[in-house]
């Protein structure tokens, strides 16, 4: 997306900050641009700076400057969110994202660049978004998936699925793995924001990697650094992994429409938590910046918690209600 040709300098500075200093992905930066472009266009319409009949998508934002932004009020922000709701462009998740973008933008102007003395939207409420529990494979389904891997590329695919299910890596982290990422029983993972974390490999992972490397060593590769490559000898892509996971799920007799590579990450997290890994350790394994992101897994039904509840010596103590005449 060529946002540089459309953006005023104040927006370019913000996007560059998130792209370079914060290390956010291009997709995230693009979303910031789209959210703020929509907001700027609405503000120009609201303030009568363009004719009322101007087509929304054709409103230029290149003249937006700090004086324009200095006059933004909290009521205008709420009007903008109401406008999006009326136009049918905003569900709860979208509202939360746009509010987050606006918060980040005005915080940048007030605390990073100090172009604004006061943050005009500091009091903006954060919408409550209902978080669905992550879908995941059971232990038996995970074993079923792994045991069904056969045919062409079986060593590679088995290794990829094993890393997803044991280490909980993101698909972006997996496709960026290099040969040098594996050192003895550790794997060096480049996560979000270019943050590196070290994961320890269990025996299943080490054996799967070992089997794949034997096959890989007999290939003449175009990308010699990539850990996982395609039949064309190039680094495997996100799309390629997604397609492979769907194919292997179907072959295992599982509903491929319900699961994805990201659901395999959820599976790893759930199985670790159900088998004694504490939530803070899980946070480190998954590479979450905030504990509350990891804590969604603590709401998943856990048989161990049920057993613990039944094991309490007071579990069978029950006081019958006193019968009282006349009471229903």
Where in the sequence numbering do the catalytic residues fall?
A: 170, 192, 262, 265, 288, 297
Whether residue 120 contacts residue 106, with contact meaning beta carbons closer than 8 Å, is answered with yes
C-alpha to C-alpha distances, 184 to 177, 205, 226, 294, nearest whole angstrom: 15, 11, 17, 28
Paired tokens of 92 = 């709860």
Report angle CA 274, 280, 283 to the nearest 5 degrees: 85
Identify which of 160, 175, 168 has the alpha carbon closest to the alpha carbon of residue 25: 175
Cα 187–chain centre separation: 21
Question: Torsions phi, psi of 275, nearest 5?
Answer: -115, 30
């Amino acid at each position: 997306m060529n946002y540089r040709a459309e953006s005023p300098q104040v927006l370019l500075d913000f996007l560059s900050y998130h792209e370079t200093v914060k290390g956010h992905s291009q997709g995230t930066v693009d979303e910031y641009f789209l959210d703020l472009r929509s907001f700027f266009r609405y503000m120009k319409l609201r303030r009568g700076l363009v004719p009322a009949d101007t087509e929304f998508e054709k409103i230029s934002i290149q003249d937006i400057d700090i004086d324009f932004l200095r006059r933004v009020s909290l009521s205008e922000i709420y009007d903008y969110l109401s406008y999006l709701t009326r136009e049918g462009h905003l569900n709860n998740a979208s509202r939360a994202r746009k509010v987050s973008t606006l918060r980040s933008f005005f915080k940048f102007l007030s605390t990073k660049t100090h172009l604004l003395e006061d943050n005009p939207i500091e009091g903006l409420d954060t919408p409550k978004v209902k978080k669905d529990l992550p879908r995941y494979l059971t232990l038996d389904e995970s074993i079923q998936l792994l045991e069904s891997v056969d045919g062409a590329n079986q060593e590679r695919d088995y290794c990829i699925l094993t890393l997803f299910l044991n280490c909980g890596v993101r698909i972006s982290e997996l496709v960026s793995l290099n040969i040098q990422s594996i050192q003895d029983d550790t794997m060096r993972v480049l996560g979000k924001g270019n943050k590196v974390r070290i994961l320890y490999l269990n025996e299943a992972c080490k054996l799967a990697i070992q089997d794949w490397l034997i096959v890989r060593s007999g290939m003449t590769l175009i990308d010699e650094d990539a850990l996982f490559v395609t039949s064309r000898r190039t680094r495997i892509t996100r799309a390629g992994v997604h397609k492979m996971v769907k194919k292997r799920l179907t072959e295992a007799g599982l509903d491929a429409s319900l699961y994805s590579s990201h659901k395999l990450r959820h599976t790893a997290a759930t199985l670790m938590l159900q088998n004694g890994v504490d939530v803070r350790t899980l946070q480190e394994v998954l590479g979450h910046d905030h504990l509350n992101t990891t804590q969604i897994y603590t709401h998943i039904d856990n048989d161990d918690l049920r057993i613990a509840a039944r094991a309490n010596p007071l579990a069978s103590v029950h006081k019958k209600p006193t019968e009282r005449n006349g009471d229903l």
